[in-house]
Amino acid sequence: MPQSPASTHKNLLIGMLLMTAAAFALAAMHALVRKVSGELHPFEISFFRNLFGLVALSPLMLKGGLKNLQTYQPRLQLFRGFNSVAAMSLWFFALSVVPLAEATAMSFLAVIFASIGAALFLGERMRARRWSAVGAGFLGAMIILRPGFVELNYGLVIVMTSALCWGTGVIIVKQLSKTDSITSIVCWFGVSTTILSFWPALLVWTTPTLEQLGWLVLIGIFGTLGHLAMTRSLKTADAGAVMPLDFTRLVWATLLGYLLFKEVPDLPTLIGGAVIISAATYIIIRESRIKA
């Protein structure tokens, strides 16, 4: 039964609020990662983030039992686990050496990489306007990097590599969703990333103090709340309408970076970030219209 205009408007408003809340929660998680990364290795932070995320998933997993892990593509599920651990470890390391706003602006390249991957590996059609948006996204990255004008920031290169991994993860999820349930994809993610991130963490292990453990718990809480709010937002309203609000993460990251670390983004970062966000927004809205 079609929804009434009033109901559609209400769902859109709820979806927008949820996506904005998700953006804040994820920006807060990234700020806490930056805070604690001076004391704990990013590999260890990544492990605890995944562990506490798995704890949050435990009621769902206990309810469905082993059926939640039923998959028709176990190798791809496992590959997603490796890819996600690499993406998270690189991202957390980058947050320890790159100002929060700069890292956040560059991280939105994941949408650009996912769009290219969908064309190369999933056969999605890329028309001239979408390729133009991809080109604009990389132009924005070059504005932030300013190669040849300033010394190359290898931390930002790591952010780009992390964004490539996150973009790859989007392609993997699209492929998995053709055969596996959302519950299976989520549960495999929680189990695989926790197990796979434990071994690198052992190599650099430092037993957290009670204060550090408290920060790690908050990282897990904010990360889980952010992803839950984002998922609920996408279920409530059209992705093309709410996903652009994920880019308010740059606003939150700029504010938290200033309040917690006295970081003020320079003009090229703001301009480059705006270009990347504009390109990513166009791609998201375009994909949403095509699906509709």
DSSP 13-35: HHHHHHHHHHHHHHHHHHHHHHH
Distance CA 184, CA 179 (A): 10
Indicate the DSSP class of residue 40.
S
| Per-residue pLDDT reduced to its tens digit, 244-280 | 889 999 999 999 999 999 999 989 999 999 999 999 9
| Per-residue pLDDT reduced to its tens digit, 5-19 | 666 778 888 988 998
What is the reported pLDDT for 65?
Answer: 75
Alpha-carbon distances of 44 from 90, 213, 220, 221, rounded to whole Å: 12, 11, 13, 16
Q: Where are the domains of the chain?
A: 5-291
Is the CB of residue 215 less than 8 Å from the CB of residue 103? Answer: no
Q: For residue 147, which phi and psi values (nearest 5 degrees)?
A: -60, 135
Distance CA 245, CA 257 (A): 19
What is the reported pLDDT for 3?
Answer: 57
Write the DSSP assignment of 63-113 as a string of letters: HHGGGGG--S-HHHHHHHHHHHHHHHHHHHHHHHHS-HHHHHHHHTHHHHH
Distance CA 29, CA 255 (A): 14
Which has the closest alpha carbon to 164: 240, 113, 90?
113
Q: Which residues of the chain have pLDDT under 50?
A: 1
Q: Across the chain, what does the average pLDDT equal?
A: 88
What is the reported pLDDT for 5?
Answer: 61
What is the reported pLDDT for 208?
Answer: 94
What is the reported pLDDT for 81?
Answer: 94
Distance CA 139, CA 120 (A): 21
